Every structure is written in structure tokens, then in C-alpha cells.
Amino acid sequence: MTDEKPTHQERLKKILHSHGKAANPPKNEADAEEAEISCGGAFGYLRGIKDHPGAVEFRFRDGNSAWFPYAWLGPWRYNPSEGLLLKFSGDLVYLVLIRGSNLDKPLNEGAINLTTGGLQRNRVVWIREMSKEDIRQVGDTGPTIDSIRVEEFESQAALKEWVGKNAPGFLR
């Protein structure tokens, strides 16, 4: 038995036309839920001011995904030369290091960006690693995600050591 669920790239194409504009109104309830998500190449967010996802999904180029609840999201930092460093605290401490360009730039010249308009307001539904072709197409016109790394830690010492080796610009 094969799994016929569409990939996130297929869902993105279904929601958006090639020009980045929202698709026609949904025809059924399942499509209505997806239609509430606005997307760019790097991330998707809920448009409604009162809508908030319970978790953020990190989509990797290899097709795998990881979800973290917004309730676990603690402090996070943005450094244009290093990227975004998100800290999730649950059963363990998880760091998510997002590297890319223009991470604080709005999608499609709109008002929502990944940092203050998206993550800070808990409106980002997913963030994805982009292919080299996707990054080339976006260029300097919007945010691009080169890589996403998720690491888990049982001690503060291990966390600091990892940050020192992988993103020293975030150490104080």
C-alpha cells in the first residue's frame, strides 16, 4: 500500500499560482484549511490575525519534517551573519539553527516577515530548506533558507559547546 499524500512542494503549488498570488477559493473543507495559509518559498504563515498554529513545521530538503509546539518556543535570536537560532524547551532542550539570506525581509513585499511578523507573533506554520534553484529564483527579493539544523541537548554545557562550534555569533 502506497502513501498518496502530496508533498509540501505539491501542496505549495496547489495553494499558489506561479506568480505567488493566492489561488481560487477552496472547493471543500480540506482545501479551506490550507487556503488560510499564505506562502512564500521560505515559509508559510496563517493570514488571520486571530489564527495561530499549535506548532511550527521544519521541512528538510530530503522530504523529512520536524514539528515543535509554539508552547515550547523560548528565547530566539536573529543575527544577519549567522541566521536565526530558536530554542525549544520540552523534555529536552532543542536548538534550531536556520541559515539563509534576507530572513527579516517580508514575503512578496508584504507586511509579514519570518522574524517579527511571523515567529514573534506565532503565525509561521512551516519553514523549509530551499533548493539552489528556488534560492536563485528568489534572489534578493525575499527570504531564502539555505539550511535548517535541529539539535537536542541534555545539558547547558553541551548546548554552549555546540553553539560555539556552529554559530559563535550567538554567544555572549
Query: What percentage of the chain has pLDDT greater than the value 70?
Result: 73
* Domain assignment present for 84: yes
Task: Please state the domain count of the chain.
Answer: 1
* Domain assignment present for 29: no
* 46: confidence class by pLDDT, cuts 50, 70, 90: confident
Cα–Cα dist 116/127, whole Å: 15
The x, y and z cell numbers of residue 119, run together, are: 515567529
Please say if the pLDDT value at position 142 is more than 50: yes
Q: Are 127 and 118 in contact, with CB atoms under 8 Å apart?
A: no
* Domain assignment present for 19: no
For position 37, what pLDDT does the model report? Answer: 64
For position 112, what pLDDT does the model report? Answer: 81
* Domain assignment present for 10: no
Give the residue-averaged pLDDT of 105-118: 80
* Domain assignment present for 150: yes
Please say if the pLDDT value at position 44 is more than 90: no
- CA torsion, ordered 45, 122, 59, 31, to nearest 10 deg: -40
* Domain assignment present for 154: yes
- Domain of residue 143 covers 42-170
- The bridge status of strand 144-153 relative to strand 83-89 is unpaired
